[in-house]
Amino acid sequence: MIHCPGGGVPNRSRNSVTTYRQPGLVLTDHRFPVPLDHDRPDGERIEVFAREVVAGDKAGSDRDRLPWLVYLEGGPGFGARRFIGPQAWLGRAVREFRVLLLDQRGTGRSTPANRQTLPLRGTPAEQADYLAHFRADSIVKDCESIRRRLTGGAPWTVLGQSFGGFCAVHYLSTAPQGLERVLITGGLPSLHATADEVYRAAYPRIRRKNEAHFARYPQDAERARAIAAHLREHRVTLPGGGHLTPEAFQSLGILLGSGEGTHQLHLLLEGAFVPTPGGPALADAFLEQVQAQLSYAGHPLYAVLHEAIYAQGEGPTDWAAERVRAEYPEFDAGAALDEGRPFLFTGETVHPWHFTTDPALRPLRETAELLAARTDWAPLYDPERLAANRVPVAAAVYHDDMYVDTVHSLDTARTVRGLRTWVTDEFEHDGVRAGGPRVLDRLLALSRDEI
């Protein structure tokens, strides 16, 4: 067994807890040892961190009577959102639930998996084998292990955002006995689409988001071209040591999938250049903000495992986003500059060059290559079991979600027996956060047949 600092947990038989307060809330931090490989329960163990949240006025004798709701964050590779007080949907949830904010394995305060810790695993091949245990199937098995310890065996409600919704659909496919109800926001995956098919559906959506952005902020078209041209002519280094290429700059389009993202991108672009004795240069403040948006230092698994979340034994993902991009030449940054065409941003796509430009990813390049070539991924969803589903399920499907294809989501919704959808263009992909309590309120009502 490999003993990693903050990693292996050889001598813990039960979770350790710490309780404290925030305004209006009582929080309890839990650490759960779980098997790295649930098919080998007596083998190596890692740790999963989770934060229990209860309303301050329910933290006494009422606490143990509250039903549990576990929140699965989007990603892959992001820890659960850190709230300060009853923000966004959390304030609605704690009115009737005991909420568990789960840092999925490898993220947040769970046993870390990043450029600093993964070399402790050994070679890139050994690192890739280790990370193969960090997909939705292992995350759901962690949930089941934790549920049995916390609830005494009672089922709980799952709220899954984006990739958390993918995990929830896997949960319905493999362990529905653990579920009281399932609420999904922007996270109904295709049950069958390959990674190539996912990105063939994605690039036209990304183009539409670009068109909408430049229609709102037409001045940004020339600003984006000017920045890209500057980056082609100058080697620009970000404050964290990353190399800002035109293609890396394109990745700022990930902002266009959130409710305020188009405005954030505009504000970022308008302050790009400053005058210097050597001519116009990209401002330090601009580069600092770009660094904050583009660095994978805080969530490397998002890049390393991103295409693996779509893999189901149909062959290697083989850098699908990069290969499929060639079918959409309008996203070729160099050609756009050479031919005077609009410069388009990309979106939620990971490319091999990310592992060259970003210092947080460079040491993981070979590991990522091995994962992209892997062919032994297990199926994630069981359409037959989903067609026989008896768990109440409600899903918010955003009308033109940049991150998750609406057609794919609705196809899946038709497969899952009893699933009720709320299709809306009121929100972008981050509706569960931006919509405050309304999204959770609506999904709970749908799942209970109250509307």
Please tell me whether residues 153 and 183 are part of one structural domain: yes
Please tell me whether residues 318 and 438 are part of one structural domain: no
* Coil vs helix vs strand at 222: helix
For residue 27, is it within any domain? yes
The residue among 373, 396, 425 that closes a domain is 373
What is the arithmetic mean of pLDDT over 279-307?
Answer: 97
What confidence score (pLDDT) does residue 5 get?
Answer: 37
Please tell me whether residues 123 and 209 are part of one structural domain: no
For residue 137, is it within any domain? yes
User: Above 50 in pLDDT, residue 386?
Assistant: yes
Please tell me whether residues 199 and 181 are part of one structural domain: no
Q: How confident is the model at residue 2 (pLDDT cuts 50, 70, 90)?
A: very low
For the chain, how many structural domains are there in total?
A: 2
For residue 228, is it within any domain? yes
Please tell me whether residues 40 and 142 are part of one structural domain: yes
What confidence score (pLDDT) does residue 58 get?
Answer: 86
User: Above 60 in pLDDT, residue 8?
Assistant: no
Closest residue by Cα to residue 119 from 107, 127, 130, 111:
127
Q: What is the dihedral of CA 393, 398, 404, 408, to 10 degrees?
A: 70
Query: Known catalytic residue: 429?
Result: yes
Please tell me whether residues 120 and 255 are part of one structural domain: no
What confidence score (pLDDT) does residue 314 get?
Answer: 76
Q: How confident is the model at residue 6 (pLDDT cuts 50, 70, 90)?
A: very low
**Cβ distance 282 to 230 under 8 Å?**
yes
For residue 9, is it within any domain? no
Please tell me whether residues 228 and 159 are part of one structural domain: no
Please tell me whether residues 27 and 61 are part of one structural domain: yes
Please tell me whether residues 217 and 322 are part of one structural domain: yes
Cα separation, 346 vs 224, in Å, equals: 13
The residue among 311, 343, 373 that closes a domain is 373
**Cβ distance 15 to 31 under 8 Å?**
yes
Please tell me whether residues 293 and 213 are part of one structural domain: yes
What is the arithmetic mean of pLDDT over 200-210?
Answer: 98
Looking only at the bridges linking them, the beta strands covering 98-103 and 25-35 are: unpaired
- Percentage, residues of the chain above pLDDT 90: 93
Please tell me whether residues 147 and 291 are part of one structural domain: no
- For residue 105, the enclosing domain spans 16-191+381-447
Which residue did the predictor score with more confidence, 6 or 267?
267
Of 173, 351, 429, 447, catalytic: 429
Q: How confident is the model at residue 15 (pLDDT cuts 50, 70, 90)?
A: low
| pLDDT tens-digit readout, 36-55 | 999 999 999 999 999 999 99
Please tell me whether residues 183 and 48 are part of one structural domain: yes
Cα separation, 263 vs 19, in Å, equals: 39
The residue among 351, 373, 395 that closes a domain is 373
For the ranges 2-6, 93-97, 207-211, the lowest mean pLDDT is seen at 2-6
For residue 8, is it within any domain? no
Q: How confident is the model at residue 61 (pLDDT cuts 50, 70, 90)?
A: confident
Query: Known catalytic residue: 162?
Result: yes
Cα separation, 170 vs 48, in Å, equals: 19
Of 103, 137, 138, 162, catalytic: 162
* Coil vs helix vs strand at 224: helix
DSSP 268-304: HHHT-EE--TTS-EE-HHHHHHHHHHH--TT-HHHHH
For residue 7, is it within any domain? no
**Residue 124, H or E segment:** helix 124-131
Which residue did the predictor score with more confidence, 6 or 313?
313
